[in-house]
């Protein structure tokens, strides 16, 4: 198994630096391949609808003696439909059952905007307004957080954190929390490095996990998902740095974030790419290399959350003001 790195959370846990992202991943063979290579960090979410498959694979791998539960670091996320305080524990217990584990290593609020719970008992289907956008409700994430703190108290989860929250939202939770966030997961890559936000969290002992660390090149280019990041891997300056080290552009992008102290969760279902994404511990970027990558910054977000619908850009807990401010949709009460 390759030598790997880890980041120490304020809870004392060691969180592996490289994890397997599983958004849109249902292939159990891909997870087996990752474990064989040496991955010990798996990132999933209730919303991905693959916790049960992941649980089956992990259970079998443990039975076969390939891994021990204590070696694995499992991150999952509370569905936006389950953010009402009365649902949090029940939804957590569902995840525990699907993942076939007695505890979750890190549990995140997936998104600060809560969805209606009217279809919650049917799974993770999102109720929709007449215009096809998600039906949202007004639940303060702080109230959700209070219930998540109780999960830590009772040993159901080891650590709790946030995903897709704005800096102001993180600051509010941090300042009012009894148990401080251990991790923030957000979009970070060379086109969207979020230096100030990362610095803000680091100074408060909040670790950072980057999703789309290589630009999510496999993400479909659709209005609801945002632009493709394929061109990021084609940046000439990035290719030059990769060539100098005998590595791929993806290796350089991952290594850049790791050297910034950031955890990365590249997603792939291809066993060869899964292996390659893990080969980032045998080289180091120079300060000059890091400056080159810093120069690629375009402040370009690849996940624009258009699927939430323009009406929800005006929700009081929608986290991204640059998206909200660019929206001229005003009739937010239509069809409510």
Catalytic residues: 48
- In angstroms, the CA 321 to CA 22 distance is 27
- In angstroms, the CA 214 to CA 331 distance is 37
């Amino acid at each position: 198994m390759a030598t790997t790195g880890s980041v120490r959370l304020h809870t004392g846990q060691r969180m592996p630096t490289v994890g397997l992202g599983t958004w849109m991943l249902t292939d159990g063979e891909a997870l087996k391949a990752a474990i064989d290579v040496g991955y010990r960090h798996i990132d999933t979410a209730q919303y991905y609808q693959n916790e049960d498959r992941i649980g089956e694979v992990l259970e079998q791998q443990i039975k076969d003696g390939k891994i021990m539960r204590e070696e694995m670091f499992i991150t999952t996320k509370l569905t936006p439909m389950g953010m009402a305080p009365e649902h949090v524990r029940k939804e957590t217990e569902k995840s525990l059952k699907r993942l076939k584990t007695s505890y979750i290593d890190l549990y995140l609020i997936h998104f600060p905007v809560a969805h209606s719970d009217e279809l919650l008992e049917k799974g993770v289907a999102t109720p929709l307004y007449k215009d096809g956008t998600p039906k949202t409700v007004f639940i303060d994430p702080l109230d959700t957080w209070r219930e998540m703190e109780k999960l830590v108290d009772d040993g159901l989860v080891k650590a709790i954190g946030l995903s897709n929250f704005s800096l102001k939202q993180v600051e509010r939770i941090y300042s009012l929390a009894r148990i401080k966030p251990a991790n923030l997961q957000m979009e970070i890559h060379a086109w969207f490095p979020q230096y100030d936000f990362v610095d803000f969290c680091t100074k408060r002992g909040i670790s950072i996990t980057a999703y789309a660390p290589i630009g999510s090149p496999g993400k479909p280019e659709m209005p609801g998902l945002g632009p493709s990041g394929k061109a990021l891997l084609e940046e000439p300056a990035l290719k030059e740095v990769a060539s100098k080290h005998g590595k791929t552009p993806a290796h350089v992008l991952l290594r850049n974030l790791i050297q910034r102290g950031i955890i990365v969760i590249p997603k792939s279902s291809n066993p060869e790419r899964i292996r390659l994404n893990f080969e980032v511990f045998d080289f180091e970027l120079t300060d000059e290399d890091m400056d080159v990558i810093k120069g690629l910054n375009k402040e370009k977000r690849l996940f624009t959350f258009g699927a939430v619908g323009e009406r929800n850009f005006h929700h009081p807990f929608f986290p991204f003001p640059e998206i909200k401010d660019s929206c001229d949709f005003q009739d937010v009460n239509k069809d409510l």
